[in-house]
Homo-oligomer: A and B are copies of this chain.
């Protein structure tokens, strides 16, 4: 199935500011994967096959655990058979129905 996820990952042991440095390390990994993605204010959307996407999640986790004693992560997954260009498609589909 084609999968779109929303991924948030950040350390809990670094205080409440400066978290963007950790998010950018994860985003570098997402970019290097070549998977379609979109940085959003509360997480990053990533699109691909299940194995590909979860491989990127794994790589992000391993990068941030290097220098963190506690990590928090949330993942939302929307998996759909036969969907192509799902991120663009979802946005277009909602916007086309707006009042």
Instruction: Enumerate chain A interface residues (CB-CB to B < 8 A).
Output: 1, 4-6, 8, 10-17, 19-21, 23-24, 27-28, 31, 38-43, 45, 47, 50, 54, 57-58, 61, 65, 68-82, 86-87, 90-91, 93-95, 97-99
Contact = CB atoms under 8 A, between A and B. Distances in A.
Contact of A94 (B4, B16, B23, B72): B23
Contact of A73 (B39, B71, B77, B86): B77
11 contacts: A15-B15, A16-B68, A24-B97, A27-B94, A38-B40, A40-B43, A42-B76, A70-B80, A71-B79, A73-B76, A74-B74
Residue from A54, A71, A95 having most chain B Cβ neighbours under 10 A? A71
